[in-house]
A and B are shown apart, each in its own frame.
Chain A
Amino acid sequence: MNQHERQIQEITRRHFLGQCRTGIGAAALAMLCQQGASADSLLRAPHVLAKAKRIIYLHMAGSPPQQDLFDYKPVLNKWNGEPCPDEMFAKERFAFIKGHPKILASPHQFGQFGESGTWVSQLLPHFQTIVDDVTVVNSMFTDQFNHAPAQLLLHTGSPRFGRPSMGSWLSYGLGTENSDLPAFVVLVSGEKTPDAGKSVWGSGFLPTVHQGVQCRTTGEPVLYVTDPPGMTRDVRRRSLDALRDLNEEMYTADQDPETLTRISQYELAYRMQVSVPEVMDISKEPQHMLDMYGAKPGETRFANNCLLARRLVEQGVRMVQLFDWGWDIHGTGPGNDLITHLPEKCRLADQPIAALVKDLKQRGLLDDTIVVFSGEFGRTAMNEERDGSKFLGRDHHPGCFSIWVAGGGFKRGATVGETDDLGYRVTETPVHVHDLQATLLHQLGIDHERLTYRFQGRDFRLTDVHGRVVPELIA
C-alpha cells in the first residue's frame, strides 16, 4: 500500500465516521484519530480564502437557448429569416443543421430589471425579481456540441467517461459537514436522467464513497435505506446490537482496525435510515413555503427538488446537483419548440428557482452558498429547421452560452461578458467550462491546480490541464 492509497483509505474510513455508541466503538474512534489525519477531509485548511461552503448546481439538461432567456440580441430581429453569414456555418460542425441555415430572432420579449438593469426575457418573471442577487454570464463557451460529452465536460472536466464529477472532487477535498448525510446529493426531475447517465455524478477513479448519492422524491429516498418489510426499528436495533457483539468478538480475535470501521459504518447506516428520509420529507414544510416554491409533496417535480436543495444544504450537504431534463429546444415538434415548449419549461422552473435564491437569502445561507444555473452548451442563432420543420428551434452550439451564478462571494446584480451582435461568438471575457470550474473551486477555498489525485500514474484534477479563475465574476 502506498502513501496515497493509505491516505485514501484513511479518508474513506473517516468520511462517514460518526460517534459509536459504546465500548469498543469509542475506542475505535480514538484509535483511528491517532492513526493519521485529524479531519475527515483531504484539505486540512483551504488553499485560498473560502467564500463559500457549499454549492447548488441547477443543470437544465439539454441546454436552454441563451438568446431567448438572457442574452438579448435585438440585431437578430433585423435579420430574422435571412440566410446567416457564411462564416457562421461554413467551418462549423453541427449536430443537425444541414445546408445554409437562417437567422432566428427570439420570439420572446426582453426587458431590463432590478437596480442593475439586467436584461431578462419575459419568460422568466420570477427571475426578474432576483436579478440584483445574481451575476449573469453571457460569455460561457465549451468545446463539445453533443449532449453526453458536453455534460461530462461540464461536470467532470473531460468529455469522456471515467473522470470524477465536481461533487466527488468536493467530497474528496472538503468532506462532509454532516456525517449522517452524504456529502454529494443528486436530485433528478423531468423524468429522465441526463444524457450522459450517472457518470455525471460518478466518482470516476476516486473511491466510490465520493460519488453523488441520488435521492429520490418517490420510492425510497436512497436505495436500500428502508428496513425490509416486516422488520421494525426495534428489530433492526436489536439485530445491530447482536451484529456489533459478533464484530467485537471478531476484532478481539483478529485485531483488524477495519473491523472497527465496519462497526461504526453500520451504526451510521442505522442513523442515515432516519436522517435521510427526514430531510427528504418536504411535507413538514409550512404551506407558505410550499407555495413559494410551487412544491407538492409526494411528486417528482423540479420545484420539490429546489426546496429539497435548500433543506439539504441547510443540513450541511456539500453539493446538491439538480438535473432537470427537457431543455433541448430543437423545434422538431411542439414538444421541443420555442413557442410552446420553452415557455412551459420556464413556467415550471422559474418560480422555484427564484424562491430558492430568496429563501437562501432570507435564511442567511446565500452568503456562503453558491447557486449555479446552466445548460451544457449554447444554441444556435439560426433556426434548426430539421427536415423542414415548421416549429422554431435552435441546434447545439458550443461557441457561446449564458449561465448565472449567485451567492458564495460572486458579484450581485452584474452581467459579465459579451457576445457579438448575432450572439454567436464571445467577444468579451470568455469563460470556458474549465474556467467556471476553477472559479467555483476557488470560491470554495480550493486551488483547482492543487486538488489532484493520482491515477494510472498521472495526477488528475477537475480542470484537466486547463482553467483559470475568472476575477470578473467575483465580488
Chain B
Amino acid sequence: MLIAALAGSLIGAASIRAQEPVHYARDVARILSNNCFTCHGPDEKERKAGLRLDRFEGATAPARSGAAAIVPGDPDGSPLIARILSHDLDERMPPESKGGALPPESIALLRSWIAQGAKYERHWAFEAPVRPEVPAVPAYADRIRNPIDAFVFARLEAEGLAPNEEAEKGVWLRRASLDLTGLPPSHDALRAFLDDDSPEAYEKAADAMLASPHYGERWAQMWLDLARYADTKGYEKDDPRTVWPYRDWVIRAFNDDMPYDAFTRDQLAGDLLPGATLDQQLATAFHRNTMTNDEGGTDDEEFRTAAIVDRVNTTMQTWMGMTMACAQCHTHKYDPLTHREYYEFAAFFNQTEDGDYNPERPLLKVPTTEQQQELDATRDRLREVRKALTDAVDPAGDRTKAEELVWGPWYETGPLAAEDFDAAFDRDFGPEAQVDLAARYLDGAAYWKGRSDFENGKVLAIEGENSAFYFYRTVESPRLAAIELSIGSDDALKVWWNGELRIDEKSHRGVAADQNLLLAAARPGVNTLLVKVVNGEAGGGVYFNLRDADFPPALAALLEVPESDRTDEQRTSIETYQQSRNEAAELNQKVAKLEAAIPEVPVMRELPEDQRRPDYIFEKGSFLNRGEDVSAGVPSVFNAWPEDAPRNRLGLADWLVSEDNPLTARVMMNRVWERFFGHGIVATLEDFGTQGDWPTHQELLDWLATEYMAQGWHLKPMLKMIVLSETYRQSSVSTPEKLEHDPFNVHYARGPRFRLPAEAVRDQALFVSGLLSEKMSGPPVMPPQPDGVWQIVYSNERWVESKGEDKYRRGLYTYWRRSSPYPSMVAFDAATRDVCTARRMRTNTPLQALVALNDPVYVEAAQALARRAVDEAGVSTRDRAQWIFEAALSREPTERELDALIDLYRSEFDHYRENAEDAVVMASNPLGPLPEEASPHTMAAWTVVSNVVMNTDEFLSKR
C-alpha cells in the first residue's frame, strides 16, 4: 500500500500558478532528478536511449529515436510530455519499476516550464549576490524606515496583506531585549524607555542593548551550536575537555563586534596567521570541538578521520549552508558536488597534529586575565629577588657542584639514655667536645657503629626514650665552598659544623625534611659534621640531605668569617642572601603552581612539512578503503580559488570570506534573520542547495548580504537595522484572515511571536526573580540537577552542584555533557552539540510544562520573585499582583488578568493559612528560610502566583 506521507506546502511548488515564472532550479530539477535522472542523467553507464535530461543541450538534441525530448516553447509538441501522459503502460514514463505516473502538479510544472522556454538556469544560491535596487512602495511610504521595510512591504502589497500597527513600546523593548541580550529589560530600563518621548528613544535603546555585555552571551549561543561546543569529549567515556576559554573568546568576539571575515580566519586558521596572537590560536579550538573516543581498544586513526569528516561537514554547513555529507560516500545526487571534491576539501583539514589522542594534543595554555596578572606580578617579584641575591654577594667565581663533595660514612652512637628529656638534651655524653670514633660512652655501654643504612633524603628510625643519639660524618671539599644542609629530627636537635655548634633546636616534633637548614662554609679538605638527636617518648627519627652547594664563592668567604668576627655589613649580606634565596625558591614554586593551573585548550596546529599525511579518497566513505590521491581544493561550482592564496586552511578561510563567495554572507544573514523572525528567508538554514527551500524574499536576502559586506562584515549595525525596522516593530497580533492567508507569517504582515530558546527560558526566570548572576566567563558551572542523571560507565565524573552565585549563572555557562546534557535545557530543544546544529527545533510538549512548573530551579525563581514583590511593591494585594506581572512580562496586566492572579492569591492564602507546614516549605524550599518578619502563608501564596506567571505562554514566548 502506497501512502503519500508528505502533504502539499503553502509556499512550495504546489502554489505556483500557471502564469507564474517556473524556475528550473526551484521547481523542475527536483522532479526530473527524482524521476528521470537515474536513466537519463549524468551517469553515462546507466543512460538509456541516448537521452540525458539534466542539460539543455541533451534534452533538446535528437536522442537515439531521432527526436528531441523537449521542444522549448511547445509542451504539446514535446515527446517528454507525451510520454509522461501516455496511457499505454509500455510507453509511459517513468516506467512502473521507477515509480510510475507523475502527479498532476508535477506535470503542470513541467508543461509551464517548457512553455516558458525550458530554461536550465543555475541554482540561485551558487551565483554571488548582486545588490538589488530597493523598491519604492508609495502605499507605505510613511512607514518605511529602512530598506528591509521596502522589500517586505513591497511583497505585502503584492500579496494583498497589510502590515500590523506598531507594537506598544514596552512590547518592542521586551522583544528586542530578548533578541539582542537574551534577557528581558530591567524594570529601570523599561521605565526609562517608556518615559523617553524623543524620536531617538528606540535607537538609544537599541544601542544600549548592543553595547551590553549580555549581547555577546546571547549571540555566542547561536555560534556555539554551530561550533558543537561542549565540555566533554563525547563517545563512551565522554570525559571532560577544557575548552571553555574558546567559549569565552566567542563571547568577546561578538561583544567586540569582530568582523566576520576576521572571525572566520581566526577560527579556521588562526594558527597559520603570521605572528598569531594567543587569541588567534585559541580561536582554532572551533575545530577541536570534534569528539574524541577514549574507549579502551579503539583505533585512533578511525576516529581521527571521523573528526576530519566532521570538520568538512561543519565548515560547509556553518559558512555556506551546504551539506557535503552525501559526497562522503558518492557524488552528491542533487547538488554539483563530487565524491572527489569532498576529499579535496577534506585535505585542508588532514594536516593538523591532533589525532584522537588521549590525552589530547596539541594544547594551548590560555591563562585567564587574573591568572596572567598574578603570573606577571610573581615573575616581576622574582626578578627583583634575583637581583637582590646578586647585590648581596658577588655572584662571580667557581661554584661547587654537589658531586664534587666527597662524603664519609655515617657513624652513630646511641641510645644514650638520661633520666629525662631535658637532661638528655643538655648533657654532653662525650662526643660534643671532640669526636673520637674509638671512644666508648656511658661506662663503655655505647660506642660508634657504622650506619650505611642512613641514606641521604630518607628518614632513619631511632628507638630509645629520653635518649640522645649522635651521628657523625666527614665531608671533603675541593675548595672553599658554601653548602646548605637540610636536617630533620624527632625530637630535639643539635648540630656542630667543624666543631662549632650551629643548630640548637629544643622541640618535640615528628621528623620531616627541611626542618632545619644550615648554611655553612666548607673548607678545602676535610670538614666534620656532628648531629645530636634527642628523642622523648616513643620512637624517633632523623633526616639528612645536602640541599645545595651551588653558591658563589664570595658567600663562602663571608661564612668562613667566624660569626663573632663578622661586620654588620657581612652579617646583612648573608641574611639578605639567605632571605632572597628562600623567597626565590618560594616564588619559583608559585610560578610552577600558577602555570599548572592555567587551562590548556586543544587547538589546531599544522604538521611540519616532513610529516604531512597522504590525502586520498575513501571509497564508499570508509577510511579503510584507500582510493585515488587528491590534493586540497574547493568544489568547482563555487567561486574560484583566490589568487596567491596558500593551499591551506588560511587560504580556505580567505575563499570563504571572499566577496565572490555566493553563500557566506547570505547564510549568516539568513541565520540572524531566523533568530529574530522565527524562520529564515531560506527556511532550510542548513541547506541552500538545490534540495533546500527557495528564499521567500531573495532580494531582501541579497540586499542584507551585500550590505553586511559593505559594513565591513560588522554584525551590530545589521542587527540594529533589523530591530529598528518597521517590519520588526509590528505587533504580533494575528487575525483569522492573516492566519488563513499566511499561517506561518512568511510574509511578515505581523511581528514575530514564538517560544524562547532553552537558555533564554532559564535566564529570564532567574533574571526577573533577581537571582541571576551577571558573572561572565570562566569554567562551566553545575546548577541543581536531579540525582542520578549522571550514571556513567567507566568514569568517575560526578555532578557537583555549584555553590553561591555559580548556581545562578546564565544557561550558556552550564556544564555541557554530550552524553547527558542538562535535562531542563534538553526539554526546551537545546542541541546536544554532538554535531554542528544550524537550527534548533521548537517543540511544545508537556515535559516543558513539567520543567517550568516543578524543576526546583524554577520553583526557587518563583519564591524569589514572590519575596521581591513583597519587598518592593506596595502592601495591597492588587499592587503586588500587578508588580509580579509587570516584572515578568514588562507590561501592565488587563483587569481580567489581574483578577485571575488576585483570585488565585486569595484562595492559596486561605489554603496555606490552614496548612502552615506546607506554607513554610512552599515559600522556602529550596530558596532558604524566609525573613523573620515574613508571613509564611502570604509568601507561599505569592510563590504560587509567581509560578503561574512564569508559566504563561507569554512568559515562555517572545511576542
Within the complex, the shortest CB–CB distance from A234 to chain B, in Å, comes to: 7
What range describes how many residues of B lie at the interface?
A: 35 or more
* Interface residue from B792, B859, B904 paired with A228 (Cβ < 8 Å): B859
Query: Which of A5, A12, A15 has most B Cβ within 10 Å?
Result: A5
Within the complex, the shortest CB–CB distance from B436 to chain A, in Å, comes to: 58
Given A223-B786, A266-B846, A457-B323; A249-B897 close (CB under 8 Å): yes
Q: Does A75 contact B (CB under 8 A)?
A: no
Q: Provide the residues of chain B in CB contact with A178, threshold 8 Å.
A: none
Q: What is the bound-complex CA distance between A228 and B900, given in angstroms?
A: 22
Q: Does B298 contact A (CB under 8 A)?
A: yes
Given A6-B9, A224-B855, A239-B904; A456-B897 close (CB under 8 Å): no
Q: Mark A22-41, 1 if CB is under 8 A from B, else 0.
A: 00000000000001110000
Q: Provide the residues of chain B in CB contact with A93, threshold 8 Å.
A: 299
* Interface residue from A199, A231, A242, A243 paired with B832 (Cβ < 8 Å): A199
Q: What is the bound-complex CA distance between A440 and B343, given in angstroms?
A: 36
Q: Does A292 contact B (CB under 8 A)?
A: no
Contact B850 A258 (CB under 8 A): no
Q: Mark A100-131, 1 if CB is under 8 A from B, else 0.
A: 00000000000000000000000000000000
Within the complex, the shortest CB–CB distance from B836 to chain A, in Å, comes to: 8
Contact A146 B791 (CB under 8 A): no
Q: Does B944 contact A (CB under 8 A)?
A: yes
Query: Which of B291, B743, B846, B922 has most A Cβ within 10 Å?
Result: B846
Q: What is the bound-complex CA distance between A9 and B957, given in angstroms?
A: 16
Within the complex, the shortest CB–CB distance from A380 to chain B, in Å, comes to: 12
Given A3-B8, A161-B832; A96-B296 close (CB under 8 Å): yes
Contact B236 A12 (CB under 8 A): no
Within the complex, the shortest CB–CB distance from B105 to chain A, in Å, comes to: 13
Contact A198 B820 (CB under 8 A): yes
Contact A96 B293 (CB under 8 A): no
Contact A229 B921 (CB under 8 A): yes
Contact A456 B323 (CB under 8 A): yes
Contact B689 A457 (CB under 8 A): yes
Q: Does B826 contact A (CB under 8 A)?
A: yes
Q: Does B193 contact A (CB under 8 A)?
A: no
Contact B306 A223 (CB under 8 A): no
Q: What is the bound-complex CA distance between A236 and B325, given in angstroms?
A: 48
Contact A148 B293 (CB under 8 A): yes
- Chain B 299-315 interface residues, beta-carbon cutoff 8 Å to A: 299, 306, 313
* Interface residue from B313, B843, B940, B952 paired with A12 (Cβ < 8 Å): B843
Q: What is the bound-complex CA distance between A293 and B341, given in angstroms?
A: 58
Q: Provide the residues of chain A in CB contact with B834, threshold 8 Å.
A: 160-162, 199
- Chain B 912-932 interface residues, beta-carbon cutoff 8 Å to A: 915, 917-923, 925
Interface of B is mostly: loop
Within the complex, the shortest CB–CB distance from A297 to chain B, in Å, comes to: 18
Contact A224 B851 (CB under 8 A): yes
Contact B793 A193 (CB under 8 A): yes
* Interface residue from A47, A146, A251 paired with B297 (Cβ < 8 Å): A146
Contact B850 A269 (CB under 8 A): yes
* Interface residue from A45, A222, A234 paired with B911 (Cβ < 8 Å): A234
Q: What is the bound-complex CA distance between A193 and B843, given in angstroms?
A: 26
Q: What is the bound-complex CA distance between A253 and B805, given in angstroms?
A: 38
Within the complex, the shortest CB–CB distance from B25 to chain A, in Å, comes to: 14
Q: What is the bound-complex CA distance between A456 and B755, given in angstroms?
A: 23
Within the complex, the shortest CB–CB distance from B808 to chain A, in Å, comes to: 18
Within the complex, the shortest CB–CB distance from A397 to chain B, in Å, comes to: 12
* Interface residue from A223, A238, A246 paired with B908 (Cβ < 8 Å): A238
Given A208-B829, A229-B925, A246-B897; A456-B944 close (CB under 8 Å): no
Q: Does B894 contact A (CB under 8 A)?
A: yes
* Interface residue from A145, A263, A457 paired with B684 (Cβ < 8 Å): A457
Q: What is the bound-complex CA distance between A145 and B846, given in angstroms?
A: 38
Q: Does A312 contact B (CB under 8 A)?
A: no
Q: Provide the residues of chain B in CB contact with A194, threshold 8 Å.
A: 793
Contact B952 A250 (CB under 8 A): yes
- Closest-by-CB residue of A relative to B687 is A457
Q: Does B44 contact A (CB under 8 A)?
A: no
Given A192-B792, A207-B829; A458-B8 close (CB under 8 Å): no
19 pairs of residues in contact across A and B, judged by CB atoms under 8 Å: A2-B683, A3-B10, A7-B7, A36-B7, A46-B3, A160-B306, A196-B235, A196-B236, A218-B788, A228-B859, A231-B918, A239-B948, A243-B948, A246-B948, A255-B739, A265-B848, A269-B847, A269-B849, A456-B838
Per CB-CB distance, the 9 closest pairs between chain A and chain B, nearest first, are A197-B819, A95-B297, A3-B9, A230-B922, A230-B921, A457-B687, A457-B323, A148-B236, A161-B834
- A-side residues, CB < 8 A to B, are 1-9, 12-13, 15-16, 35-37, 42-48, 93-96, 145-149, 160-162, 188, 191-199, 202, 207-209, 211, 213, 216, 218-220, 222-232, 234-236, 238-239, 242-243, 245-247, 249-251, 253-259, 261-263, 265-266, 268-269, 272-273, 325, 396, 450, 454-458, 465
11 further contact pairs, Cβ within 8 A, besides A161-B235, A255-B734: A2-B11, A146-B293, A208-B841, A219-B786, A223-B850, A224-B823, A243-B952, A245-B900, A246-B901, A255-B739, A458-B323
